[in-house]
Structure formats: structure tokens, C-alpha cells
Chain A
Amino acid sequence: AQSVAQPEDQVNVAEGNPLTVKCTYSVSGNPYLFWYVQYPNRGLQFLLKYITGDNLVKGSYGFEAEFNKSQTSFHLKKPSALVSDSALYFCAVRDRDTNAGKSTFGDGTTLTVKP
């Protein structure tokens, strides 16, 4: 079984400040981890993924995420938030070892960046 937890329903930050959106996961094998963003009235868009290798992954729009195996976390970060980053963010996990196509998504975190 696999699961994802996004412990914060809402994250509020001021423009220009760093942001963190938290994600922890559980899989029986080794994980593939993803972050997607959903803007209002639009479908989900891929931000970044961790497959293997360097634990720090860089993605679109200046976002990055750090894979921490011991803490089973994959927190999304950005050094300086923009108002346009305001959206709903989803973390997702797949079990690499079973090669299953099934992804499990978290419940999402709403990020609000205030001017």
C-alpha cells in the first residue's frame, strides 16, 4: 500500500519570503515522488519529480524539492515566493519497485502568497 500526507491544508506567505509545502509518503518499495500544481479552473500541471540520484530536485518556476529517505519526506520549496505562485499543490507517490502505474496523491495544500 502507498499513501501521501500533506499535513497543511493552507500555507500563507508574503511575497518575497521563502515558502515550504510539506509532504510525507509511505510506500512498501522505493518511491518515485512528484509535485503537481493546480491553478483555478485548470488541470494539474507537473512541477518536478524525484526518480533517483541527487536528493535535491529542481523544477519549473523556480521550485525545488528535497527527498529525505530517513524522514520519508519530499517538501516543496521556493526561495522567494511570487503572488502568481498562489495555487493548489499536490504531492504524489508511485512505488518504483512494483512498476505499478498507480499514483497516490495527497489531499493538496492551498498556497496563498500575499503582496
Chain B
Amino acid sequence: GAGVSQSPSNKVTEKGKDVELRCDPISGHTALYWYRQRLGQGLEFLIYFQGNSAPDKSGLPSDRFSAERTGESVSTLTIQRTQQEDSAVYLCASSLSWLAGDIQYFGAGTRLSVL
């Protein structure tokens, strides 16, 4: 596609339920990133993938959070046993590579609301 696509755009769930958020990166982009943006706050790094290398999971806030990526395509961020503090916009970005100078292209985000 022309840009990074995220689905769903909005997700409302009940506390304790599991949710899956999907990201389709730009074709040919080998690096993929997940961020969390709480209301009125900046972007919080969660995880990034580069090709077939082991992902950098250093930003995942707890073991309830996990992410997978199939090759250099779709990624899924899973949050188990959701809590109200998980409510935020989850942003996905992709770039040509993991090199530090590469521009990240962002999706519109998934707004997660945990009731």
C-alpha cells in the first residue's frame, strides 16, 4: 500500500480481555516500530523489528504485552488481560531499515479504550 495501515482504528474492550492490534508496513520497509501515546503525552517506544533479527523489546511495559512480525510484513501487537492504564493510541511506524538516519513513516494509530 501507499502508507502504513493500522487496524482497527478504534477498539473498545472490557478490562481483562485480550486485544490484537495490526500493522501493515510500507512494502519494502524492513524495520517496523510500535509506540504508545497516552493522552497529552509523547510517544513511548514499545518494540521494534528489523528483518529477521531478534526484536528490541526493551520498551514493552509488562509481560502482558507481546508483538510478532511475519518476515518483513504484517505485525501484530497483543495485549493480554487489558487494564484501564492500557488505554492509549498505539502507533505503528516503518522505515527502509533500522539505520539511525532512516525516516519513520507512521500509521494513523489504533485508539484503544479499556472500560
Contacts and interface: CB of A to CB of B under 8 A. Distances in A.
The answer to whether A binds B is: yes
Interface of A: 6, 32, 34, 36, 41-46, 49, 51, 90, 92, 94-96, 98-108
8 tightest A-B contacts by CB? Answer: A101-B98, A43-B106, A107-B42, A105-B43, A94-B100, A44-B106, A43-B108, A32-B100
Contacts of A44: 43, 91, 93, 104, 106
A90 B106 contact: no
A92 B109 CA distance: 18
Contacts of A45: 106
Nearest to B97: A101
B1 interface: no
Interface of B: 4, 31, 33, 35, 41-43, 45, 48, 50, 56, 58-59, 91, 93, 98-101, 103-109
Contacts of B42: 6, 90, 105-108
21 contacts: A32-B101, A36-B104, A36-B106, A43-B4, A43-B91, A43-B109, A44-B93, A44-B104, A45-B106, A46-B105, A51-B101, A90-B42, A99-B99, A102-B45, A102-B58, A103-B33, A104-B45, A105-B43, A107-B41, A107-B42, A108-B42
Contacts, number: 68
Contact of A102 (B56, B93, B99, B105): B56
Nearest to B109: A43
Nearest to A29: B100
